[in-house]
Structure formats: C-alpha cells, structure tokens
C-alpha cells in the first residue's frame, strides 16, 4: 500500500503540461504528479505552495570543476555543492583535473567523503575519473578501479589526449566501463588562447584560436567512435563547424553525444571588447552565427545536453591582463536563470531545458533522475520565472565569482531544490495551507 505523502507541492505549473498540478512525495520518492485538487488535505506532509512557480526535475550537470583536492582557494566540494543546490542541481559530475589528479580510487573516495560530510542529503556527487594517468596522455588510468570507487565517466578534460594512438586505446578500453568525455581542442593550433580568432581578436591584438581547432578534434573523435564502435561524449561544443560534423555523424548512427554550455548560447566574442577577463574561457566565446547554430542544435537534439563547465577561479587569477588570466566561467549558481532569457525570447522552451539539462544527461551517464513517475527519486526544483535578481558576489554561493554576468540582472530564479525528498535549498517561499 502507498505510504502517506510527507512532501507536497501544490498548485504548480509543469513544463509541457497544461493546468496546475500537485506533486506528492513520500520517503524521498515520487508518489504522483496529478492535476491540482483544491480539496485535498495533507495533514502529515510539508506542503509548499507552488502558485506562480514552475516545477522541474532537478538538473544534472555533467561538467564541473570543483577544484578539491588541491586548489581549494578557487572552490571546494562543499562550496561547489552549495552552488549546485542553489542552482537547482541534484547530480554533479566533477572533472579529474585536481591536484592530485583523480586517477585512482583514493582521490575519488576523498571527493565522495567530502561530499558526504558537507552535503549528506545531496546534491549527489559523481566524480569523473582521469582517462590517463596524471592526465598526461601517456598511460591509461585504472578505469575499473575508478568506476568501482564511484566515477561515472572518464575524461582528460583540460588536457586532451594529443596522441591519437593512446586516445584510440583509451576509447576501446573504456567502452565496456563508462562513457568517455572529450574536450576537443587541437593540441597545437592557437592552444588555450581564450579568444576566438576573428574580427574581435584582430582588433584587440589578441592571439586567437579558430573554431577549426575544435572541429578538427571533433572530427577525429567521431571517426574513432564510428570505427571502434565505442561511445564518446563531446564536451562543451562551441561552434557551428562542430555542430555540422556531429549532425552528420548522428545521421550515420555514430555513437556520439554532445554538450554545450549556457555561455555559448548567451554570449559572443564581443564580450571580450574592453579585455574583460571574465569572458575568457576555453573553448572561447564564438560568433553570433555559432551561437545561433548551437541553440538550434540543442532544440533538435544534435546537441544532447547542457552542462555548465563550471570553472571557478579566485579574483586575483582574473584580475590580470587578458593573456595572463585563467580560462573559465563559474556557472552553477546562474545556469538556469541565465538560460531563462532564451525561454523568454522563445528560442528555447522550458521542456527543452528539462530534456537537455535533466533527463538526457542522466540517461547518458546512467544517473538517477526524476521523470515524475511513481517511484522516481523526489529530485526537483521550483522556479519562479518572474523573480528578478542581481548577480552579486554575495548572491553566488560558489567561491568563484568569475562570471561576465556579475552585476547583471536576471529574470527567473530557483527558489527551492529538493533531492530525494530533502530540501537542500529554500529561498523561503510561504508555505501553503
């Protein structure tokens, strides 16, 4: 028999459905999501008034850098998960480019212990193991050991494997264990410049990196994935050329999936004018044409998922001349609110966001997810699409305040995040009757 509901959201709207709904949860699981019943009473439940709010499954971020161990001045797992909770995430994957590198079970377990100590009820952490030892691109990392310790994927993110022979063997070896995520960047061409090669870099006198440097590695990875029948997930796609390669590959049935990040959908390299180091990121912000191609690709599924590539840095690491500044934008706190601008413009739907930022990433990486079916984990967020807020350093829970959105006003805010029935973020909406 069904237990009584212990957590209820009443009178809430749900993307893709008409009318108002009531979500009933018990013991961390979904009981039902049913049309709103004004007469129903829930004497034993915490009841949240969802009027004016949107209910979405909590998000999965397949691409973050939480910097612990080793670079805790930028971020640590506790602060990273705080930002995740505030941003509406229930699942967080964190990359292996820590110090020491996450290339063995001891590091993976340390990360998981830190997460359990700081956020015992979630958001859940899923470390990404290194693909090669020390991310050096020479020897394969012990992937079975990493998987058993809790890694959900393998990646040399930040230090892509240049040697194609090694990368081929890594894809083959990993194929039966967990997905491989690849940061696509030619090892030589305009490497790491953080500026797109184009009119803006020409005017500013900055060394630029062409989109071709990304597309070359995307093509390499697609060809290998098809040849080896080994899946590969293409991280942070930033340009039309890569989108076109992926679209053609998917048409042929190649086992590739792809992600892009909010900043590539919202900004272009024009953000670099004035040498704004906050907009320095790798891959770099591209042209408006690239931006349009990415939005379209996300809508039609050529790009499978959204991820933040949350890359926190300390203030002094960005307060430098452009070429000395670190690459990266912090994203967990602002992802959904910033993307909401595209929903308001009608360029993405709220359903696109649910599919691309919750359901599909969980599917690719085999993570728990809430599809609002009975028995699903009670992972959800409540979003106020009308609330305006200013992105101040205080409003960001991440230690990294490095975002070009700083000082801007966003419309739409995550007001509550729930993971397995536990409220991990609550801006204090009035309780319902």
Partner 1 sequence: MNWPHKDLLDVSQLSREDVEVVMRTAASFREINARPVKKVPTLKGKSVVLFFAEPSTRTKTSFDIAGKRLSADTFSLAKTGSSLQKGETLKDTALTLEAMNPDAIVIRHASSGAADFVARRVGCAVINAGDGWHAHPTQALLDLFTLREVWGDELVGKTVVILGDIAHSRVARSNCRLLPMLGARVRLCAPRTLLPKAATALGVEVFNDIDAALDGADAVMCLRLQLERQEAGLLPDLREYARRFCLTTKRLSRAAPGVKVMHPGPINRGVEIASDLADAGNSLILDQVSSGVAVRMAILYLHITRKEKGETS
Q: Which residues lie near partner 1 (CB under 8 A)?
A: 197-206, 208, 210, 274-275, 316, 319-324
Nearer to partner 1, 79 or 196 (CB): 196
Per the CB < 8 A criterion, the answer to whether 197 and 210 are in contact is yes
Choose among 141, 205, 130, 128: nearest CA to 173.
141
Nearer to partner 1, 117 or 324 (CB): 324
Nearer to partner 1, 38 or 321 (CB): 321
Nearer to partner 1, 317 or 352 (CB): 317
CA torsion angle 266 424 70 152 (round to 10): -80
> Using H for helix, E for strand and C for coil, what is the string for the chain?
CCCCCCEEEEEEECCCCCCEEEEEEECCEEEEEEECCCCCCCCCCEEEECCCCEEEECEEEEEECCCCCCCCCCCCHHHHHHHHHHHCEEEEEECCCCCCCCCCHHHHHHHHHHHHHHCCCCCEEEEEEECEHHHCCCCECCHHHHHHHCCCEEECCCCCCCCHHHHHHHHHHHCCCCCEEECCCCCCCCCCCCCECCHHHHHHCCCCECHHHHHHHHHHHHHHHHHHCCCEEECCCCCHHHHHHHHHHHHCCCCEEEEECHHHHHCCHHHHCCCCHHHCCCCCCCCHHHHHHHHHHHHHCCCCEECCCECCCCHHHHCCCHHHCCCCECCCCCHHHHHHHHHHCCCCCHHHHHHHHHHHHHHHHCCCCCCCCCCCECCEEEEEEEEEEECCCCCCCCCCCCCCCCCCEEEEEEEEEEECCEEEEECCCCECC
The token pair at 410 is: 């966003």
Catalytic residue among 269, 290, 309, 376: 309
Minimum CB separation of residue 345 from partner 1 in Å reads: 28
Minimum CB separation of residue 206 from partner 1 in Å reads: 5
Nearer to partner 1, 19 or 321 (CB): 321
* Residue 309 bears catalytic tag: yes
Nearer to partner 1, 116 or 189 (CB): 189
Nearer to partner 1, 125 or 206 (CB): 206
Minimum CB separation of residue 203 from partner 1 in Å reads: 6
Nearer to partner 1, 200 or 246 (CB): 200
Q: How many residues would you count in the chain?
A: 433
Minimum CB separation of residue 288 from partner 1 in Å reads: 14
Minimum CB separation of residue 323 from partner 1 in Å reads: 5
Minimum CB separation of residue 87 from partner 1 in Å reads: 30
Q: What angle do CA 319, 324, 326 make, to 5 degrees?
A: 70
Residues serving a catalytic function are: 309
């Amino acid at each position: 028999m069904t237990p009584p509901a212990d957590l209820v959201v009443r009178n809430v709207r749900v993307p893709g459905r008409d009318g108002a709904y009531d979500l009933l949860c018990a013991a961390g699981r979904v009981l039902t999501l049913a049309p709103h019943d004004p007469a129903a009473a829930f004497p034993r439940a915490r009841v949240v008034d969802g009027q004016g709010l949107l209910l979405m499954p909590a998000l999965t971020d397949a691409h973050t850098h939480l910097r612990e161990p080793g670079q805790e001045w930028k971020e640590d797992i506790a602060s990273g998960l705080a930002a995740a909770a505030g941003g509406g995430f229930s699942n967080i994957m964190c990359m292996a480019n820590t110090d020491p590198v996450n290339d063995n079970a001891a590091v993976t377990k340390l990360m998981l212990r830190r997460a359990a100590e700081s956020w015992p009820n979630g958001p859940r952490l899923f470390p990404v193991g290194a693909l090669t030892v020390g991310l050096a691109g020479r020897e394969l990392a012990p992937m079975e050991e990493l998987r058993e310790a809790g890694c959900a994927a393998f990646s040399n993110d930040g230090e892509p494997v240049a040697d194609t022979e090694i990368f081929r063997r890594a894809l083959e070896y990993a194929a039966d264990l967990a997905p491989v995520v690849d940061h696509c960047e030619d090892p030589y061409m305009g490497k790491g410049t953080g500026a797109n090669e184009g009119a803006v870099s020409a005017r500013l006198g900055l060394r630029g990196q062409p989109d071709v440097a990304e597309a070359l590695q995307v093509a390499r990875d697609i060809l290998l994935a098809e040849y080896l029948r080994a899946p590969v997930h293409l991280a942070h796609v930033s340009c039309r050329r890569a989108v076109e390669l992926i679209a053609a590959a998917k048409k042929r049935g190649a086992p590739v999936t792809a992600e892009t990040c909010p900043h590539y959908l919202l900004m272009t390299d024009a953000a670099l004018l004035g040498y704004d180091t906050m907009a320095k990121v790798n891959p770099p912000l591209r042209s408006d044409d690239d931006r349009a191609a990415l939005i379209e690709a996300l809508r039609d599924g050529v790009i499978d998922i959204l991820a933040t590539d949350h890359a926190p840095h300390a203030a002094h690491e960005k307060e430098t001349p452009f070429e000395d500044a670190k690459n990266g934008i912090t994203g967990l706190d602002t992802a959904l609110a910033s993307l909401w601008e595209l929903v308001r413009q009608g360029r993405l739907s709220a359903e696109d966001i649910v599919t691309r930022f919750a359901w599909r990433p969980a599917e690719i990486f085999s993570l728990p997810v809430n599809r609002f079916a009975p028995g699903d984990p009670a992972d959800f967020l409540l979003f106020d699409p009308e609330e305006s807020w200013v992105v101040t350093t205080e409003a960001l829970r991440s230690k990294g305040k490095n975002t070009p959105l700083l000082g801007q006003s966003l419309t739409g805010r995550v007001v509550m995040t729930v993971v397995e029935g536990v409220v991990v973020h609550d801006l204090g909406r009035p309780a319902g009757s």
